[in-house]
Structure 1
Amino acid sequence: MFRSILVAVDASHAAHNAVRRAGLLAARFEARLTLLQVLAPSVLRLPYGLFAPALGTDARITRAQLALGRAAAGLARDHDIHASVVVRVGDALEHIRLLAHEADLLVVGAKTRNPLHDSVLGTRAARLMQLARHAVLVVKSPAASAYSRVLVPTDFADCSEAALRLALKMVSDRSVEVFHALSTHRETRMRAANVPAQAILDYVGSAREKCLRRLRAATALANGHAAGCSVGHGDPACLSLERQKAMAADLIVMGREGQGQSVAGGMRMGSVARQLVAKAGCDVLFIPRTALPYLEADARPQRPAMGFDALASRRESEWMRREAAPMSSACHDGKAFQGSGATVLPC
């Protein structure tokens, strides 16, 4: 299921929990594990509003590499796994997003700065969840052991079915509960149209029974055994949070159909995903539609193994070629390759 896991690390306690949880998952799925820390570029204020790189950047990088090395050594000791270490300097969101393209799962710790900032722009975990094209695990609690109880809110979309299959692989089927919240829109319209109360009750009961049958069929199709099923009536986010507390779930697995290209456009206030990240008392795993080909073992495309250092260099070269002005063949050191009527320059 997961073959490559990337962990975004900093000096916070939330990042420590993310590293421990990623180690447990890497051991369970036998996945490659990479620890990434992005340092903010230090600047020195000069007269006339100018800035210059401050001294000591190399020392900060060395300290970060040593800290990540100790964390990797702890993972090797506790879980018998090897973790690669990568340190970058620059914009954290951009570096994490670029390197996450080559990972099946991005693991981040849930760390907030202040309520006003997070309510307007969202937490870093929420922004990464919006921009990432692969599965994102937001770790909110200490990782003492493997997950034992999983809640899967579903809307019967393809991503929700993938979330259910993943949840059944992470724990036993008896520890997974699938939940669906029925909308109240039609009931509200029926009341506005003065439909008799008994007819409304009959409709709600019929809709609940149909939903339960559909949930049982989905769980049986996913694993051959029926997991727990429950149906609520009302706001999906509030009901999911209540159900998580009632069953003491330590993980929520949720599919997400949309995959936005900007924080402002995708992470709208009041969305179910954002409310779960902000208010859930357990870890939250999101699976966007774009992650489905990589999570399905049979449909997964074969990609050549590539180190994260080589990946970053390749992406930087591609960016430079896009930004640079067109050059003649005499300005390029390499030779051009002819094929299919096109000229391709070596990377």
Structure 2
Amino acid sequence: MSQAVRSILVATDLAPRSDRAVDRALELGREWNADVHVVHAIERDAPTTALDVRRVLPDPGAKASVSLPYGPAPKAITDTARERGVDLLVTGVARYNDLGDYLLGTAVDHVVREAPCPVLVVKQRAHGPYQRLLIATDFSKGARAALLGAAALFPDARLHLVHAYHVPFESRIKSDDVRDIARSEAQGKLDALLADLPEDLRARIEPHLAAGEPGAVLDQVARDVWPDLVVIGARGISGLVQAALGSVASTLLQRIPVDTLVIKEG
């Protein structure tokens, strides 16, 4: 992900729950001097106008363009992102269809899989720039790209780097030696990653290693450090995000009330 974000697309269903995503997108637009485009999908004939969309902005006269595509919201949102070539897609937790499908489930699955750019899911009110980032890593190329991308986007933020490692046969073998070996291997990989980073970036990173299922570990670290943004990376749509769309996504996008940025490699 390039540091330069020139355009941001934010989705709204015009309900109050979408205000947080809109507010955050506009704040990021000011912070990065990026264009902001607001999209509202119309799934059937409705008297919705661009003026109706502008009324949900904190300032109806704010510098932002509007589009009203027809069709199911998740597809309309990602199609608009692709057509406009945006650098970031921002969305909230609003309900988008009559089946009660929230953008925290199958819809976010579609958006993350199909979006041509990073996706920011906003849950919190915007009270200023992101300052404490929790970044999940499995030491893959995609996770490294997410770390570097997030660090570049938020150069003043503290970076909490989290790795959950697996202790083999732990359910059957209660051995300190096995646990020590697993932790030592994880620590070695972490040390190698940090050693390969620029010194100024290393100074911003606080590492966290813990044994356990990734979602549970991320959940616990989030409770300890109170991040205002969680970042996960992916190789295309495989790797960590593939898992994240299952149990890890359930933790990050439902149990933890923290904005989440998904960065896909390449």
Query: Structure 2 length normalisation: TM-score?
Result: 0.83
- Counterpart for residue 204 of structure 1: 182
1:273 to 244, 249, 256: 249
Alignment match, 1:92: 73
Residue 240 of structure 2 corresponds to residue 257 of structure 1: no
Displacement of 1:198: 4.6
* Number of residue equivalences: 256
Contact 2:165 / 2:183 at 8 angstroms: preserved in 1? no
Residue 9 of structure 2 aligns to which amino acid in structure 1? L
Alignment counterpart, residue 59 of structure 2, candidates 64, 74, 87: 74
**2-structure distance, mates of 1:113, 1:84:** 21
Structure 2 counterpart of 1:111: 94
Task: State whether structure 2 residue 21 is matched by structure 1 residue 21.
Answer: no
1:141-173 Cα deviation digits (max 9, x unpaired) = 111211121100011222211211232234456
Per the alignment, do residues 93 and 131 of structure 1 end up closer, same or farther by CA in structure 2, a change over 3 Å counting?
same
Q: How far did residue 270 of structure 1 move?
A: 3.2
Match of 1:178 among 139, 143, 161: 161
Question: Given the superposition, is the C-alpha separation of residues 93 and 172 from structure 1 closer, same or farther in structure 2, using an over 3 Å criterion?
Answer: closer
Q: Which amino acid aligns with 1:88?
A: P
| TM value normalised by structure 1 | 0.65
State the 1:283 CA deviation.
0.3
Secondary structure of 1:276's counterpart equals helix
Question: In the alignment, is residue 83 of structure 1 matched against residue 83 of structure 2?
Answer: no
Residue deviations 1:64-100, cap 9 Å, x none? Answer: x1132334571766xxxx2111112322222212111
The structural deviation recorded for 1:125 is: 2.8
Q: 1:248 aligns with which of 217, 222, 226?
A: 226
**Contact 1:6/1:36 (8 A) holds in 2:** yes
Q: Please name the residue that 1:39 is paired with.
A: 42
| 1:26-45 superposed Cα distances (whole Å, 9 cap, x missing partner) | 11222111001111214xxx
Matched, 1:7 2:7: no
Is 1:130–1:267's contact at 8 Å kept on the other side of the alignment? no
Distance, in Å, in 1 between the alignment partners of 2:140 and 2:69 is 37
2: distance between equivalents of 1:27 and 1:41? Answer: 33
Distance (Å, rounded) in 2 between the aligned partners of 1:27 and 1:254: 24
Deviation per residue, 1:274-301 (Å, 9 max, x gap): 4322222100000112xx3xxxxxxxxx
Find the aligned partners of 1:211 and 1:243 in 2 and give their Cα distance. Answer: 19
Q: Distance in 1 between matches of 2:36 and 2:134?
A: 26
Alpha-carbon offset, residue 174 of structure 1 = 6.1
Q: Give per-residue Cα distances to partners, 1:111-135, cap 9 Å, x unaligned.
A: 3589x9669x925233311222310
| Structure 2: unaligned runs, 5 residues or longer | none
Instruction: Tell me the distance in 2 between the aligned counterparts of 1:220 and 1:75.
Output: 43
Pick the structure with greater CA Rg.
1
> Which amino acid counterpart does residue 287 of structure 1 have in structure 2?
I
Of all paired residues, the percent bearing the same amino acid is 29
Higher helix share: 1
Q: Distance in 2 between matches of 1:11 and 1:107?
A: 14
Of 130, 133, 149, which residue of structure 2 is paired with 1:147?
130
Offset of residue 136 of structure 1 = 0.4
